[in-house]
């Protein structure tokens, strides 16, 4: 069962009642966060101390084959005292078009593993696979999608019309999870500074919540005091201020851009002007 999701929906993901889960996608931060969430849920529910995490980042086919072998061994090693067992194949990088994934030995090993997973008696055993880019045409992915749950997290993009709304919803939940609230003005300023970058957004939320201390709410002045503004966000902020005919905002953003020009040889005043015209 395939689910395509964005970072903003991580806290409301579909349930993982099936014994197998694949979390993949180009948003590395969101994939790791979601996989960690599933693993924690499973280990708490199953109990016991027999859970295993298998590192599956491979630089060559030999390392990929060893990771597959360790996974087979982990699945066949039954938990003690009748408790359950969760196995996490973490950061797997040989399920897409990587060099290690293209070798015949790895392709055959994954196909054999897929057949074993189809016939496996899961009962109190759970398998979690987290990966980056995955080739959905291959047998291994199709097997996981058939017997389990697959979630694809591709992150936000400036080409998405609603990326800012998704980012705001995600940031608001992240602030609330830390026991704080955030004003609408502060939230808008935070997203304007960070842009569509979930990892940086999470880092900035953490900084803000520590900065406000015992105060219950994050204000716009707090964002201005501690949050950095990345290059992409600065460019969009200048264009938005110009489009809104916000002269003070334009002058403030322009001053930031001109200051950065002193330290970035790849940027120029003419390039900045053309960038504004294109927007």
Mean pLDDT for all residues in the chain: 83
Contact (CB, 8 A) for 155 and 27: yes
SS3 20: strand
Higher pLDDT, residue 58 or 234? 58
SS3 193: helix
Range 1-14 average pLDDT: 50
CATH code of the domain in which 84 resides: 3.40.50.300
175-189, 201-215, 258-272, range with the lowest pLDDT: 258-272
Q: How many CA atoms lie within 13 A of 198 on its CB side?
A: 26
Is residue 158 a part of any domain in this protein? no
> 271 and 172 in one domain?
yes
> 179 and 145 in one domain?
no
Range 162-179 average pLDDT: 89
Q: What range defines the domain where residue 44 resides?
A: 2-153
Range 19-33 average pLDDT: 90
Amino acid 195: pLDDT: 83
Of 29, 6, 75, 4, nearest to 205 (Cα)? 29
Q: What angle do CA 238, 265, 237 make, to 5 degrees?
A: 10
Q: How many domains does the chain have?
A: 2
Domain end marker among 101, 131, 153: 153
Amino acid 12: pLDDT: 43
Range 155-159 average pLDDT: 73
Is residue 97 a part of any domain in this protein? yes
Other C-beta atoms lying within 10 Å of the C-beta of residue 14: 13
CATH code of the domain in which 216 resides: 1.10.8.60
């Amino acid at each position: 069962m395939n689910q395509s999701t964005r970072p903003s929906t991580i806290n409301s993901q579909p349930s993982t009642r099936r014994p197998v889960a694949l979390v993949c996608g180009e948003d590395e931060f969101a994939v790791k966060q979601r996989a960690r969430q599933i693993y924690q849920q499973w280990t708490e529910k199953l109990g016991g101390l027999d859970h295993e995490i298998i590192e599956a980042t491979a630089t060559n086919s030999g390392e990929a084959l060893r990771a597959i072998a360790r996974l087979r061994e982990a699945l066949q090693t039954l938990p003690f005292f009748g408790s359950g067992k969760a196995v996490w194949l973490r950061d797997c990088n040989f399920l897409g078009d990587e060099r290690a994934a293209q070798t015949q030995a790895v392709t055959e090993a994954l196909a054999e593993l897929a057949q074993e997973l189809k016939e496996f008696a899961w009962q109190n055993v759970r398998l979690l696979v987290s990966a980056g880019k995955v080739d959905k045409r291959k047998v291994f992915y199709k097997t996981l999608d058939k017997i389990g749950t697959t979630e694809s997290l591709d992150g936000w993009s400036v080409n998405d019309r609603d990326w800012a709304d998704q980012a705001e919803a995600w940031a608001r939940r992240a602030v609330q999870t830390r026991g704080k609230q955030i004003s609408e003005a502060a939230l808008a300023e935070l997203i304007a500074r960070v842009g569509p970058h979930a990892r940086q957004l999470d880092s900035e939320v953490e900084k803000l919540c520590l900065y406000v201390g015992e105060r219950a709410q994050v204000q716009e002045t707090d964002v201005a005091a501690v949050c950095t503004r990345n290059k992409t966000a600065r460019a969009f902020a200048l264009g938005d201020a110009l489009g809104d005919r916000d002269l003070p905002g334009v002058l403030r953003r322009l001053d930031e851009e001109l200051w950065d020009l002193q330290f970035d040889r790849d940027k120029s005043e003419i390039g900045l002007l053309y960038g504004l015209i294109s927007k």
